[in-house]
Structure 1
């Protein structure tokens, strides 16, 4: 189940659920600029170890976006703990993430759980949209006291 952003309805004019060619989340009208990939820890391990070619293709696709990232639902501590249902070594998984970050300039973010990850993605999308709206409309993209 993906994010619905229902808790953040005042941040968005609305949401549309549809399959994207790359990533799991974007902004309507900015689909060529923004792609956020969401991974649970088990999905991440499976993607990197068992579905590596697809993972590499996704990373290559994400690299073409101005704003991109991989959001991981889980902590670094959990990632570094041996897995019960996989023979994958935690260092191999982390090493692959770090390699993707360096090779394709894709940042990744660990968020402890689903709710925090959803909030992080909602905040990232709303902030990106606000700043792009300012730029598109010829206004300055600047922070004032209270913005951060």
Structure 2
């Protein structure tokens, strides 16, 4: 077991021993939900010193979503949030989706609704109200 609590998969070890580096990387990515760079680094380190390598602790383990991903969720754009997490945290699709799902479950904030600290400002509401009043006035008084 590595320092981060992850086992290097036996089938990835067999692929590595057979000289199939790409297959070993694919297996590690699928099994542990790692990004390409992290999986490649782990496989290459495992090739150099079997049994001693551990995947680098990823920024993805910090438990927090990037602000842009939280904003995307507040706007109801789940796919955009997953894309942001994949890019900013260097995760694979499955791991990014799981991270977003955990955040939604943990925060209790329904998708498409802003979290308490992320509500629109009074200025935004004032501008919306002014636009609505101007629209009604234009319709009623013929512009």
Please indicate the TM-score interval, normalised by the length of the shorter structure.
Answer: under 0.3
Query: Which structure is higher in strand share?
Result: 1
Higher RCO (Cα < 8 Å, 6 or more apart) = 1
TM-score normalised to structure 1 length = 0.22
Higher share in helix: 2
Q: Determine which structure has more spread, i.e. the larger CA radius of gyration.
A: 2
TM-score computed with the length of structure 2 as normaliser: 0.23
